[in-house]
A and B are shown apart, each in its own frame.
Chain A
């Protein structure tokens, strides 16, 4: 961690994210580094009120929050918006903004706050969002592999009962099918289950 400068330490943040576990991680990290997290809210429905009450320096918001258009409407100076916000983009280069968007997060800052200070907060959010998304992808992958293994087991079992073969033979049949058809073991297993179950049902019907 880089040494925090005093200015960054007092930056006041509101975090809007409807994914609670992700929000918790981002909030903890922001606090660890010394930002003041004023509130963490799932949707921006109460955001206008909170912004008027708490006057945050920066609002970090998950990209898929439907309330971003509401937030951007505050950038239009009017008597109703005592503290105009701007999208964080001026200080950032285009690739930084794109990375943030790809990670699923973006930010708005009060017009009078130095963008350099805001960047540190967004860096943290982007890093945490990316890490969280990777974790979720890994989880999905693990789940998929588990599912595939279950399918293969089931297909093997069916092959063994229907075709009266042993486990090894059943497995090599599946593997050969997968290689011939240039498909994954899971895909082939699913097909085999479908076909065998159908023929079994037909057999019972007779």
Chain B
């Protein structure tokens, strides 16, 4: 492991980091508990934020130094869509996967009636959902946690795979993650795509049934990243490097399944997620239930931290995400612009700099093929990646 004394000094030792109430904020939280920030000479104040807009604005205003961010958000912010424009970059991805699509019991019953079975996979439920929509004229409202999120993209991809037009056949709205379960219970929405623990909470309350996991729709899709403004990085390159190192060591620690139970109990504490351990356990341990009372399925990749080069901010993923953002805006972004914006935003050079200090192997290329591997594979000798298929029915 790295020799801290040989690192460039931290320009700033006291950092404020923003996180949202989600199980994949585990890297930011466990780094504090395990003393990794301290190891790199950083004193970190973790701030619970209630919206991604807040995270972005507080980064730009300098109230936060760095934050957990949805992977499309640095791109959307640099593009200036949906809020204020600012150059936000990432040199480290924090996690892969972690989301699921859950519908209320009424709609779950209809999907089952039309032959959909979550145990048979995401295509079974998507095509059954399409059959149900064709047979009736009920307006279905689904919610995602943010416009420019993997949740929106996964939800639209799942619908399309089943033959549903996300623009015309259903109504998709945005709701804060913490309001999803309540809104589903009160019948304001019929279903949602959100990160954990909100799917498991709906399942355990008997309010909803999971129809698809994020992994089933996009195997090992990049979910959360560490975001900072370009300006902050320029002024604090040493602090930024130390922060990435602390988080990378934490992600390696999190990649060991036997550390996940400790993570469940730490995250449930009042100063972090403040939720019962049983709600956090399914996603973090990969023992996941699709509906209440049902046997747990073994989903070891529900959250991926540290494995499969999860921390590497692939520019190919960035380009895919940015093109999807364009699609959401109803326009095609010029390929040249996409390439250059992603190069500025997904900083593979910063990842490699940190990996060198930790003597971790990392890819030499910035781009990888998407949707071609159903098994683990090696992109370069010693660099193992996970499956990367996208759902198609």
Q: Contact residues of A with B, CB < 8 Å? A: 45, 48, 63-73, 75-78, 80, 87, 89, 97-98, 101-102, 106
For the complex, give the distance between the alpha carbons of A76 and B62 in Å: 27
15 interchain pairs, CB-CB under 8 A: A48-B173, A63-B57, A64-B54, A66-B50, A70-B173, A70-B175, A73-B174, A75-B82, A76-B82, A89-B83, A97-B57, A97-B60, A101-B58, A101-B61, A106-B57
B contact residues around A71 at 8 Å (CB): 53
Contact of B63 among A48, A73, A101 (CB under 8 A): A101
Other 10 A-B pairs with CB < 8 A, given A73-B146, A75-B82: A65-B50, A65-B51, A70-B176, A73-B174, A76-B147, A80-B173, A87-B82, A97-B84, A98-B62, A101-B60
User: Is B54 in contact with A63, judged by CB distance below 8 angstroms?
Assistant: yes
Is B5 at the interface (CB under 8 A from chain A)?
A: no
For the complex, give the distance between the alpha carbons of A78 and B52 in Å: 21
- What residue of chain A has the Cβ atom nearest to residue B143's Cβ? A70
User: Is A98 in contact with B82, judged by CB distance below 8 angstroms?
Assistant: no
Is B171 at the interface (CB under 8 A from chain A)?
A: yes
For the complex, give the distance between the alpha carbons of A89 and B82 in Å: 11
Within 8 A of A (CB), among B44-83: 50-54, 57-58, 60-63, 81-83
- What residue of chain B has the Cβ atom nearest to residue A78's Cβ? B167
Given A75-B82, A80-B171, the answer on whether A67 and B51 have CB atoms closer than 8 Å is: yes
B contact residues around A73 at 8 Å (CB): 82, 146-147, 173-174
User: Is A69 in contact with B330, judged by CB distance below 8 angstroms?
Assistant: no
A153 to chain B, nearest CB (A): 32
**Complex interface bits, B159-185 against A, C-beta within 8 A gives 1, otherwise 0:** 000000001000101111011000000
B contact residues around A102 at 8 Å (CB): 61, 63
Q: Contact residues of B with A, CB < 8 Å? A: 50-54, 57-58, 60-63, 81-85, 145-147, 167, 171, 173-176, 178-179, 328-330
Given A76-B82, A77-B330, the answer on whether A68 and B54 have CB atoms closer than 8 Å is: yes
A contact residues around B146 at 8 Å (CB): 69, 73
A contact residues around B54 at 8 Å (CB): 63-64, 68
- What residue of chain B has the Cβ atom nearest to residue A79's Cβ? B167
User: Is A69 in contact with B52, judged by CB distance below 8 angstroms?
Assistant: yes
> Looking at A70, A71, A78, A80, which has the most chain B CB atoms within 10 Å of its CB?
A70
A contact residues around B51 at 8 Å (CB): 65-69
For the complex, give the distance between the alpha carbons of A115 and B62 in Å: 24
For the complex, give the distance between the alpha carbons of A106 and B329 in Å: 24
For the complex, give the distance between the alpha carbons of A102 and B62 in Å: 9
Given A63-B54, A64-B50, A69-B146, the answer on whether A45 and B60 have CB atoms closer than 8 Å is: no
- What residue of chain A has the Cβ atom nearest to residue B175's Cβ? A70
User: Is A67 in contact with B147, judged by CB distance below 8 angstroms?
Assistant: no
B contact residues around A78 at 8 Å (CB): 167
B contact residues around A69 at 8 Å (CB): 51-53, 145-147, 174, 176
- What residue of chain B has the Cβ atom nearest to residue A71's Cβ? B53
B contact residues around A101 at 8 Å (CB): 57-58, 60-61, 63
- What residue of chain B has the Cβ atom nearest to residue A73's Cβ? B174
For the complex, give the distance between the alpha carbons of A67 and B63 in Å: 20
A contact residues around B81 at 8 Å (CB): 75-76
B contact residues around A48 at 8 Å (CB): 173
A contact residues around B58 at 8 Å (CB): 101
A contact residues around B178 at 8 Å (CB): 66
A contact residues around B50 at 8 Å (CB): 64-66
- What residue of chain B has the Cβ atom nearest to residue A92's Cβ? B84
Lowest 10 A-B CB distances belong to which pairs? A73-B174, A68-B53, A66-B50, A66-B176, A101-B61, A98-B61, A89-B84, A68-B51, A73-B147, A72-B82
- What residue of chain B has the Cβ atom nearest to residue A76's Cβ? B147
For the complex, give the distance between the alpha carbons of A196 and B39 in Å: 37
For the complex, give the distance between the alpha carbons of A27 and B98 in Å: 42
For the complex, give the distance between the alpha carbons of A63 and B47 in Å: 14
- What residue of chain A has the Cβ atom nearest to residue B173's Cβ? A73
B contact residues around A64 at 8 Å (CB): 50, 54
- What residue of chain A has the Cβ atom nearest to residue B168's Cβ? A79
For the complex, give the distance between the alpha carbons of A80 and B175 in Å: 15
For the complex, give the distance between the alpha carbons of A9 and B147 in Å: 34
- What residue of chain A has the Cβ atom nearest to residue B149's Cβ? A69
B contact residues around A70 at 8 Å (CB): 173-176
For the complex, give the distance between the alpha carbons of A101 and B146 in Å: 20
User: Is B83 in contact with A87, judged by CB distance below 8 angstroms?
Assistant: yes
A contact residues around B61 at 8 Å (CB): 97-98, 101-102
A contact residues around B179 at 8 Å (CB): 45, 66
A contact residues around B171 at 8 Å (CB): 80
B218 to chain A, nearest CB (A): 21
B contact residues around A77 at 8 Å (CB): 330
For the complex, give the distance between the alpha carbons of A73 and B167 in Å: 14
B contact residues around A76 at 8 Å (CB): 81-82, 147, 328-329
> Looking at A48, A63, A64, A65, which has the most chain B CB atoms within 10 Å of its CB?
A63
For the complex, give the distance between the alpha carbons of A72 and B84 in Å: 10
For the complex, give the distance between the alpha carbons of A144 and B296 in Å: 51
A contact residues around B147 at 8 Å (CB): 69, 72-73, 76
B contact residues around A67 at 8 Å (CB): 51, 176
For the complex, give the distance between the alpha carbons of A39 and B296 in Å: 47
